[in-house]
Chains A and B, each alone.
Chain A
Amino acid sequence: MADMPSSPAMQVEQELEGDLGARRMIVNFGPQHPATHGTLRNIITVDGERVLKIEPELGYLHSGFEKLGEYRTYNQTVTITDRMNYLSPLCNNVGFSLACEELMGIKVTPRCAAIRVALAELSRVADHILSVGLQAMDLGAFSVMLWTFIEREKLYDIFEAVTGARLTTSYTRIGGLMRDLPPDFEPMCRAFMSKCAKTIDEIDDVLSNNTIFVKRTKGVGAISANDAIDLGLTGPLLRSTGVAYDVRKQRPYLGYEQYEFEVAAEQEGDVYARYRVRMKEMREALKIVDQVLRKMPAGPVNVDDPRVVIPLKDAGNNPQGGMEGLIYHFKTYMYGHGICPPKGEVYSCTEAPNGELGFYLVSDGTQRPWRFRVRPPSFYNYQALPRMSEGGLLSDVVANLSSLNIIAGELDR
């Protein structure tokens, strides 16, 4: 233990030792606490029930994704993005692929764009519904969490049918997708959507006018629009303060301008407003999926661009079967070949469930990015926790934290 440097909390505890009458106390909230929903730690100084100071400590899940991304090709990096926001990996896949396509000046096919939109919106439902369920669980309504997990399981079944994996989807490729949709995608989606809409209504019935839930959330952790902008908050947190900023509306990508949907915005900026925003966004997301399914374009899912497209391993193109197929395969996969965007840099952002997910890529003209930076929404959102919770009650920290929906994989990368 002698070599182990002591953490700030341990030092404060030592200072307070022997003075049990002191009113100030340190509470360690995490890293192993059921209400953190991830590996993060808050060192909370309390005076009785009142929170004086919160010092978030992060990095427990730091995996060096940005460093890893600099050592992988662009298509290999898609697999890294799965592991960032593990509640909605498809949104990360889509965001990253869009950034690369912008870097290379590629526009994906209409069918590819529609499929990406449908899956990103289904992921948004999966993320929000779990977030609402866990928020309810933290505030004492356990059954809501079980209902939401049922819906998420069904969504994962759809993702499994489409991508082959429930969590590590890695579905997008630069300039297209891993494969086209399965033939029964639409009936699966329709069945899910009608059931999910009912579940959302049920959650609404149980929570929205529930005295306990409302008392634990209304007026708790309220934050003003100016503060939210100053803190760099995006997504449901920013929209709950009255700023109707949604990347899908402000800077439409993947043809979001074709779909009709409302930006969910509330005014109060408290935990209840964030819950309302998430509930409304789920309904809007289902509306978007419905529109996508109704006008799903036919055609190929990959762009016709030899720089990026991965050759099919069919009879005429089999790397084991002929010289041409072998050359094609070599030019796609071997070191020094493959996808090489021109020199340049791009910052591309999409509306992920937690807020603005940005990718800043610097290309040096080789097949690996020189710099792979992720602007994770959770990182900036989490920074607001002290601002929201200091001066409030200790139990409100739980309500605030669950309304932030911090995903540790994306927070620490």
Chain B
Amino acid sequence: MTDVSAAAVEKLVALFPDVLIGTGESCGQRYADVRRDRIVDLLTFLKSDAELQFEMLMDVTAVDYLNQGAPERFCVVYQLYSISKNGYFRVKAYVPEADPTIDSVSGLWKSAPWAEREVFDLYGIEFAGHPDLKRIMLPDYYTGHPLRKDYPLRGLGERDNFPKYAGGA
């Protein structure tokens, strides 16, 4: 069986040259670096193309490439899996720090909503068109996004400022 990720790279180069920043390979796994503009189109294509069939969105996460020389500071990472072709592919969409927004893929996969909420919670990246975008791990009144690289490990003092239950009903 040929590796489906190689076919995915070929098709993206041919069909999405306007948003493709580049493709790469690390540890034998291929990925595509893209701009965020047409992310829903691109993932719809990868999901529905008959030769690719990435019908499963295994994971959505993000990476903060602060001072790492990446195209933009944030990168939303989609791990796609094709059950029928037994292959993985990774799409990395870069999101600028000044306007951390990207279109939501919640309409494409039902696995996306919570994963996108987690990225929103911990990185502060907003997902346009998300049905219920709110914090998931941290309380609603939390400020700050802990997985950003400029957020210190010990926090910014939120722990001392949590509202306290004073007793009574």
Contact = CB atoms under 8 A, between A and B. Distances in A.
Interface of A: 1, 3-5, 58-59, 62, 64, 66-68, 71, 102-103, 105, 227, 229-232, 243, 245, 250-251, 344-347, 349, 356, 358, 360, 362, 364, 370-371, 373, 375, 379-380, 383, 387, 412
Interface of B: 26-27, 29, 31, 55-59, 61, 63-64, 68, 77, 79, 83, 86, 88, 90, 109-111, 113-115, 118, 122, 135-141, 146-147, 153, 163-166, 168-169
Nearest to B25: A344
Contacts of B147: 66-67
B137 A58 contact: yes
Contacts of B88: 347
* 9 A-B pairs with the lowest CB-CB distances in the bound complex, closest first: A232-B111, A344-B26, A3-B163, A59-B137, A62-B137, A375-B59, A346-B27, A373-B61, A230-B110
Contact of A360 (B55, B79, B139): B79
A358 to B, nearest CB: 6
Contacts of A375: 58-59, 61, 79
B86 A251 contact: yes
15 contacts: A1-B168, A58-B136, A59-B137, A68-B153, A229-B83, A231-B111, A232-B56, A245-B83, A347-B29, A347-B59, A358-B79, A360-B77, A373-B77, A375-B59, A375-B79
A59 B138 contact: yes
Contacts of B115: 379-380
B79 to A, nearest CB: 6
Contact of A346 (B26, B59, B114, B139): B26
A251 B136 CA distance: 32
A383 B77 CA distance: 20
A71 B153 contact: yes
Contact of B114 (A230, A349, A379): A379
Nearest to A62: B137
Contact of A5 (B31, B58, B61, B140): B140
B111 A383 contact: yes
Contacts of B153: 67-68, 71
A315 B110 CA distance: 58
B92 to A, nearest CB: 9
A230 B111 contact: yes
A20 B21 CA distance: 60
A68 B135 CA distance: 20
A383 B136 CA distance: 12
A375 B90 CA distance: 14
A109 B58 CA distance: 30
Given A346-B26, A364-B68, A373-B61, A412 B137 contact: yes
A229 B140 CA distance: 30
B109 A346 contact: no
A377 B5 CA distance: 23
Nearest to B65: A370
B133 to A, nearest CB: 14
Contacts of B139: 5, 59
Contacts of B63: 362, 370-371
Given A1-B166, A230-B55, 19 more contacts: A1-B165, A1-B168, A3-B164, A59-B139, A62-B138, A64-B146, A67-B153, A71-B153, A229-B55, A229-B56, A230-B111, A347-B59, A349-B58, A358-B59, A360-B61, A370-B63, A375-B58, A379-B118, A383-B110
Contacts of B137: 58-59, 62, 412
Contacts of B166: 1
Contact of A243 (B26, B57, B83, B141): B83
B67 to A, nearest CB: 10
Contacts of B114: 379-380, 383
Nearest to A243: B83
Contacts of B138: 59, 62
Contacts of A230: 55, 109-111
A377 to B, nearest CB: 10
Nearest to A233: B111
Nearest to A245: B83
A364 B137 CA distance: 27
B16 to A, nearest CB: 21
Contacts of A227: 110
B30 to A, nearest CB: 11
B6 to A, nearest CB: 16
Nearest to B64: A371
Nearest to B87: A251
Given A229-B83, A231-B111, A360-B77, A4 B165 contact: yes
A379 B57 CA distance: 13
A4 B163 contact: yes
A374 to B, nearest CB: 9
B164 to A, nearest CB: 8
Contacts of A346: 26-27, 29
A111 B163 CA distance: 53
Contacts of B31: 345
A358 B135 CA distance: 23
